[in-house]
Amino acid sequence: MLELQGLTRRFGAATAVDAVDLRVPEGQMLGIIGRSGAGKSTLLRMINRLTEPSAGRILHHGRDVTALRGAALRGWRTGCAMIFQQFNLVPRLDVLTNVLLGRLNHLPAWRSLSGAWPEADRAMALSALEQLDIAGLAGQRAGSLSGGQQQRVAIARALVQEPAIILADEPVASLDPRNAMLVMDALADINRRYGIPVLVNIHSLDLARSHCERLVGLAAGRLVFDGPPEALTEEAARRLYGLEAAEAAAAPPQRVPVAA
Amino acid sequence: MSEVRPATLAAGLPRVGEYFGKILPTLRWPVLFAGSETEGSLAAWFYRLDSWAWLLFETANMAALATLMGAGAALLLAFPAARNLGAGMLARQLARRGLEAMRTVPEIVFALILVWAFGVGPLAGILAIALHTAGTLGKLFAEAIENAGTGAWDGVRAAGGSWAQACRFAVLPQVAPNLLSYALLRFEINLRAASVIGFVGGGGIGEELYTVIAQNYYEEISAIVLLILLCVAAIDLLSERLRHRLIGAPR
């Protein structure tokens, strides 16, 4: 169980995330929706501790992870794998090495810095790639792959971290519809198969509805919606997205309201 | 500035030409390819080619070793010196100020100090050039690192990688071609530096050049300068090709 208590982040005078309380039970696929600038990314980055909270606490199985430092912090980060909108791979390294970077924290320092990866880790990375149907790309430079392929490499990297939680920050926002579907399917599959809770920031309400069992909505840093996808009515979406939803409602029906 | 008088300039300029005239060898066509015993032949001009070639080889070695050592030190200091990697305040200040100090002091000054400490010879010259190289390359390296994107850095850090691991895997592969290119450029510059560091006892061809200049062995001056020029040009050409291939490599 992941629990956020009054989690807040201020950037100067602006409050990006405002006293968010949230409980995520084991095995849940949670979609976080809201327009750009609503604080979705900051929220996820705070959970991984890439961004320091200004106030509030993050508890995992009752353990306070808000103040972890050094090796304990790295251990926590390894345990909550992060997937980014821009994939954040190392473009000049090959795919297999990129996946192996998820194993860095499992190795002694000298071994990791020399790049002498244990055979067991290589096998693990390859099987993660296989699971995502891209084992054939293992030897290619990450930078030479398409966006959809790169995101699947990033998911493989997350898998070999053997995470307790997966955080996905707009994982499909840079992808075409087909690849977006592939990546969301992969995340949902991991969630079902291993029971790992997945917190995913997502623009597309369609994908959020079809892949998540629970949705929470952020507006101006505050939690304003929490419920199953069915509860996200036209009215609720309009409140969440403000004018944009109203504009979207006037548009042809296949256009999904999306935050710009 | 008051020392620059037009009259002095006018009087001195022809003498520059005169000096070049003096150091030019007297070559005679009929005996151009004769042995070194014959006055006016190429062989007589370069009569000590064997020892000069050896000295040039030593000079090139000095430059290579100094570049290697300097680049190594620069690499270690550039990561803490880069502003975007969030190294501790103290580490960053130490690295930046250290690089500045090494960069500001010219090789020849380092060499004067080191010759006093280690005695006359290549060791002092190599260390002197290496120190200055670390300073200049460290700044260039740090700037290259600062220009690298932060995406991969976030990726490695978010996966639980340490600061050192993120430097090694998220930054180094991205900037390596650039750093190598800078180091090669520095090697060209260091070859010139190594050619004159001998003036103050730092080893290499410079000592010989200093001797022949001081003793007014005019023809030998031009012979040695020509050799240095050829050597520098050759290495310039080689490293330029290498650098262009590095930078042009597909990303």
Query: What does the mean pLDDT of chain A come to?
Result: 90
For the beta carbon of residue B250, count every other beta carbon within 10 angstroms. 7
Residue of B150, B163, B169, B175 to mutate, interface with A, max A Cβ within 10 Å:
B169
CA of residue A26 relative to chain centroid, distance: 16
CA distance A107 to A119: 12
Q: Across the interface, which of A81, A88, A105 has its CB nearest the CB of B151?
A: A88
Which residues numbered 165-224 in A keep a CB inside 8 Å of some CB on B? none
Q: Is residue A50 within 8 angstroms of chain B, CB to CB?
A: yes
Q: Give the angle subtended at the CA of B76 by the CAs of B75 and B79, to the nearest 5°.
A: 80
Q: Could you report the per-residue pLDDT of B8-37, keeping only the tens digit for each?
A: 888 888 888 888 888 888 888 888 888 878
Q: Across the interface, which of A77, A113, A154 has its CB nearest the CB of B160?
A: A77
| Dihedral class, residue A175 (left if φ above 0, else alpha if ψ from -120 to 50, else beta) | beta
Going by pLDDT thresholds of 50, 70 and 90, the confidence category of residue A129 is: very high
**Nearest in space to B194 (alpha carbons), one of B126, B118, B99, B123:** B126
Q: Is residue A105 within 8 angstroms of chain B, CB to CB?
A: yes
In a 13 Å sphere around the CA of A14, the CA atoms on its Cβ side amount to 8
Going by pLDDT thresholds of 50, 70 and 90, the confidence category of residue A157 is: very high
Segments forming the whole domain that contains residue A169: 2-88+163-250
CA distance A211 to A180: 11
Are the CB atoms for B198 and B207 separated by under 8 Å? yes
Top-confidence residue, B2 or A65: A65
* B159 contacts on A by Cβ (under 8 Å): 77-78, 81-82, 101-102, 104-105, 157-158, 161
| Dihedral class, residue A19 (left if φ above 0, else alpha if ψ from -120 to 50, else beta) | left
* A92 contacts on B by Cβ (under 8 Å): 173-174, 176, 251
Please tell me the total count of domains within chain A: 1
The token pair at A158 is 């997350």
CA distance B169 to A105: 13
CA distance A153 to chain B (A): 12
H or E stretch covering A188: helix A177-194
The token pair at A100 is 């192996």
Q: Could you report the per-residue pLDDT of A24-75, keeping only the tens digit for each?
A: 999 999 999 998 888 999 999 999 999 999 999 999 999 999 989 999 999 9
Q: Is residue A95 within 8 angstroms of chain B, CB to CB?
A: no
The residues facing A32 across adjacent strands are: A201, A216
3-state percent helix, strand, coil for chain A, nearest multiple of 5: 45, 25, 35
The token pair at B86 is 């969030």
Are the CB atoms for A166 and A198 separated by under 8 Å? yes
What ranges do the domains of chain B cover? Answer: 44-247
Are the CB atoms for A200 and A187 separated by under 8 Å? yes
pLDDT at B93 exceeding the cut of 80: yes
CA distance B164 to chain A (A): 8
CA distance B135 to B106: 10
Residue A184 lies in a domain: yes
ipTM: 0.87
The residues facing A81 across adjacent strands are: A166
Strand ranges of the sheet holding A63-64, from the earlier edge strand across to the other edge: A14-24, A2-11, A55-60, A63-64
Residue of B79, B145, B150, B165 to mutate, interface with A, max A Cβ within 10 Å:
B165
Give the residue from chain A lying closest to B171, CA to CA: A90
| Dihedral class, residue B34 (left if φ above 0, else alpha if ψ from -120 to 50, else beta) | beta
CA distance B103 to chain A (A): 29
Here the CATH number for the domain that contains residue A45 is 3.40.50.300
In sequence order, the 6+-apart residues with CB closer than 8 A to the CB of B75 are: B141, B179
CA distance A147 to A125: 20
Q: What number does CATH give the domain B44-247? A: 1.10.3720.10
Q: Picking from A27-36, A109-118, B115-124, B172-181, which range would have the lowest pLDDT averaged per residue?
A: A109-118
Q: Is there a contact between A105 and B161 if contact means CB atoms under 8 Å apart?
A: yes
Q: Could you report the per-residue pLDDT of B113-145, keeping only the tens digit for each?
A: 999 999 998 999 999 999 999 999 999 999 999
CA distance B22 to chain A (A): 56
pLDDT at A252 exceeding the cut of 70: no
* B170 contacts on A by Cβ (under 8 Å): 90
| Separation in Å, CA B9 to CA B18, B20, B22, B23 | 14, 17, 20, 21
**Nearest in space to B157 (alpha carbons), one of A101, A236, A129:** A101
CA distance B63 to B66: 5
